[in-house]
Structure 1
Amino acid sequence: MPKPLRAAAAPPPTDTTSGALPTYLRIAEDLTRDIGSGRMAAGHKLPPERAMAADKGVAVATLRKALQLLVDRGLIERRQGSGNYVLGGNRSVGTYALLRLELAGQGGGLPTARILDMTRAAKPAALPAIGASDIGLRIRRLRFLSDTPVAVEEIWLDARWLDKGALTPKTVSESLYRSYEDRLGLKIDAAEDVIRMGPLPDWAPAEFGAAPGQNLPLIERRAFDQGAQPAEASWTWYDPTRAQYFARVP
């Protein structure tokens, strides 16, 4: 059994995000993940809109904007005089369609992230091949699910994309793939993951709750652009007592 990690106190939501998504989109993404995972099955009736809005602390108009996005994605249908019903799960839609980390034991969890460091640097020799250049953009982040710190990430974007636009800590939203698309015209269409164990790096913040060098589950990812060319590689160390890797097949 993995050694339990010390739980870190969750900071205020404004501290866990970099470029927070609009409220309606955060709600839509949270519901999209629940539907895509099967936790909200086809035929499931959503609570009344006023009750949902009150539960989420938003205006009814904001909730309805989120629900309309789910309608547009083909995930729910709105039946006049009856309510909102789930049509079925689809993990291929939404801002976090390629995210495979969920809260341990319960699933779901709205993803957010805090940037720890962003710089151009020489790619490490162990990095999976993502382009001809020896230079890449390195992004280190602390990842949260529903404001609980669950992972640390080191992400490398190939240098060929850096001439397409500017990425800075202030312009990157809490969804990195959304930022790629908005800022660089880069759409991540597919990814391949390898999962193994690996020591936590020494740059991981104490807030994560694990000591550098502690062996943790490690996801090594190579992601591909809209032309099916490798564009990004990353390493994600996660706490197995707080998060789990989830993939639906097919």
Structure 2
Amino acid sequence: MTEPGALPAYLQISELLIRDIAAGRLAEGQRLPPERQMAADQGVSVVTLRKALAELERRDLLERRQGSGNTIRMGQDARGLYALFRLELLTGGGLPRAKLLDLAKTPKPEDIPDIGSKADFAWRIRRLRSLNAQPVAVEEIWLDGRFATDIRAEELSQSLYLYYRENLRLTVLRAEDRVGIGPMPGWVPADLGLPPGTPAGLVERRAWSQQNDPAEFSRTWFNTSHARYVARIS
């Protein structure tokens, strides 16, 4: 069954490959397996796989030659939809997925930084995050209410920033992350394998809109036995 808000299959595959390129799991000049083998490994048709590879070629990340196979290139456009999702598997990469745990319209709490003063409420979004189907983190996101008077859970995309851009006319211009350690929240599901109060990696993020105004604040608690925070400078 398709997950709610899931990206099309070809985009999931292209995003996975983009993250593997960024993590160094796929190197310049490396030849990919035959297309039929890759399609079988990903559980998709060859047509879908080729659509994913065409997306990489469009980004100058893949060289495709008839009869010679597909070879990785280190192009300039290695930023995928999950470019700002900084968690990776310990071995690198991993396709991010999200399971919505709770969506609430609520007054802004006093313990978060400024996310805008044009609305007296915020949207609180709690999600379980996975990499390659391995649960690795939970996140609590606070989005300023000025961007939407109504948000429906079934409409949320796996990529919130894509949802923001396409539905709320909000583009995250920049973000600031502060990484530390904090106790798992009381609402953490058993899927993560860490009970409430357990020390975990903690990422606190502030995000700004295309007008350079505060827009969002989030906390992400992650299981350091399965994932790590990675920021690359190029």
Corresponding residue of 1:125 = 110
Inter-partner Cα distance in structure 2 for 1:45 and 1:235 = 38
1:237 pairs with one of 221, 229, 233:
221
Question: TM-score normalised to the size of structure 2?
Answer: 0.93
- Structure 2 counterpart SS, 1:84: strand
Question: TM-score normalised to the size of structure 1?
Answer: 0.88
User: What percentage of residue pairs aligned between the two structures are identical?
Assistant: 52
Cα RMSD between the aligned structures?
Answer: 1.7
Inter-partner Cα distance in structure 2 for 1:131 and 1:70 = 37
Corresponding residue of 1:113 = 98
Residue 211 (structure 1) aligned with residue 195 (structure 2):
yes
Relative to structure 1, is the Cα distance of residues 157 and 91 closer, same or farther in structure 2, using a 3 angstrom cutoff? Answer: farther
1:196 pairs with one of 151, 165, 180:
180
Q: Deviations over 1:180-228 (max 9, x none)?
A: 1121121223211001111111111122221211221110001122222
Inter-partner Cα distance in structure 2 for 1:156 and 1:207 = 23
Corresponding residue of 2:7 = 21
Amino acid at match of 1:131: G
- Structure 1 counterpart SS, 2:155: coil
Relative to structure 1, is the Cα distance of residues 91 and 140 closer, same or farther in structure 2, using a 3 angstrom cutoff? Answer: farther
Amino acid at match of 1:127: I
The alpha carbon displacement at 1:146 in A equals 0.9
Corresponding residue of 1:62 = 48
What is the total number of aligned residue pairs between the two structures? 233
Q: Which runs of 5+ in 2 are unaligned?
A: none
1:172 pairs with one of 156, 163, 166:
156
Inter-partner Cα distance in structure 2 for 1:171 and 1:211 = 30
Inter-partner Cα distance in structure 1 for 2:92 and 2:76 = 15
Whether the aligned pair in 2 keeps the contact of 1:46 and 1:86 (CA below 8 Å) is yes
Whether the aligned pair in 2 keeps the contact of 1:41 and 1:89 (CA below 8 Å) is no
Amino acid at match of 2:14: A
Corresponding residue of 1:37 = 23
After the TM superposition, list the runs of 4 or more consecutive aligned residues in structure 1 that deviate by more than 3 angstroms: 89-92
Inter-partner Cα distance in structure 2 for 1:169 and 1:234 = 18
Q: Which runs of 5+ in 1 are unaligned?
A: 1-12
- Structure 1 counterpart SS, 2:12: helix
- Structure 1 counterpart SS, 2:110: coil
Relative to structure 1, is the Cα distance of residues 35 and 89 closer, same or farther in structure 2, using a 3 angstrom cutoff? Answer: farther
Relative to structure 1, is the Cα distance of residues 187 and 92 closer, same or farther in structure 2, using a 3 angstrom cutoff? Answer: farther
Whether the aligned pair in 2 keeps the contact of 1:111 and 1:144 (CA below 8 Å) is yes
Inter-partner Cα distance in structure 1 for 2:61 and 2:77 = 10
